[in-house]
Amino acid sequence: MTPRRLALVASQGTLDRAYPSLILATTAASMGWEAGVFFTFHGLDIIHRERHRRLKVPAVGNPAGPVSVPTLVGAIPGATAAATRMMQRWMGRAGMPPVPEMLEMARGLGTRLLACSTTMGVMGVAEDDLLPGCEIAGAAAFLDYAAGADVQLFT
Amino acid sequence: MTDEHSMTLDCSGLLCPLPVYKAGIALGRMGPGETLELICTDPGSLEDIPAMARQRGDDLLSASGDAARQVFVLRKGGGA
């Protein structure tokens, strides 16, 4: 029996946007599905060797975020750091693994981490800047993968 | 741990995706027909564990409890 397949697009590189893709991919893989995530534009930070450890929660433009403040107040230095710390505390208290560990879990189950080649070119990200095991893919390659998927989501 | 099951996995206090993740790994290491007793406290597990069993091709032999605590017994299928 051919396993089911999940194809995700992760286009945002904030801490609160990274979790949904990683939770869905890990769950799919745990159920015996194939899972692949296409990390594009700011989403590429999630698989960046350094940046994936420092993803932040934006205080501005995130009205439901942990630090809900008017845009002008959110622009005050430290608001994003406060929102990030607060979310990290919530996740830690709930026993949720941090992003690097979620990535390890996903990779350990065979989840494909696909880095958008255009984003790499635009943002000057080299293959060495990515976590080991990431694959580089263009839009056509990802769509070819997604066309064979049972579930495709833009996270 | 009871003798009647091949393995017991206590996922008390863990939220999605961890119960499914840990159960998936445990089932992956078991042989077809072996049974896993799974204890969960995430209210989402009420639906998640039956869904996982369906998707993996394992049998959900029993499910009891409420939103606060559930006990599932799964029998590993022949596939995954």
pLDDT tens digits along A100-117 = 999 999 999 999 999 999
pLDDT at A60: 82
What mean pLDDT do residues B9-34 have?
A: 97
CATH of the domain at B60: 3.30.110.40
Task: Write out the residue range of the structural domain in which residue B16 sits.
Answer: 7-75
What is the domain range of residue A117?
A: 5-54+97-154
Residue B1 lies in a domain: no
Q: What is the ipTM score, two decimals?
A: 0.91
Q: Enter the tokens of residue B15.
A: 């939220």
Q: What value does the mean pLDDT of chain A take?
A: 94
Q: Which uninterrupted H or E stretch holds A135?
A: strand A135-137
Neighbour-count burial of B20, counting CB atoms closer than 10 A to its CB (0-12 exposed, 13-18 middle, 19+ buried): buried
What secondary structure does DSSP assign to B4-67, as a single string? TSSEEEEETTPPTTHHHHHHHHHHHHSPTT-EEEEEE--TTHHHHHHHHHHHHT-EEEEEEE-S
What residues of chain B have any CB closer than 8 angstroms to a CB in chain A? 13-18, 20-21, 23-25, 51-52, 55-57, 79-80
Give me the pLDDT at residue B80, please: 45
Whether B79 has a pLDDT exceeding 90, the answer reads: no
* pLDDT band per the 50, 70, 90 thresholds, residue A33: very high
- Residue range A82-103, pLDDT digits in tens: 999 999 999 999 999 999 999 9
A137-142 mean pLDDT: 97
Q: Which residues of B are catalytic?
A: 16
List of chain B residues whose C-beta atoms are within 8 Å of the C-beta of residue A94:
15
Given this model, what pLDDT does residue A77 score?
A: 79
Confidence check: pLDDT of B1 > 60? no
* Domain at A43, CATH number: 3.40.1260.10
Q: How many domains does chain B have?
A: 1
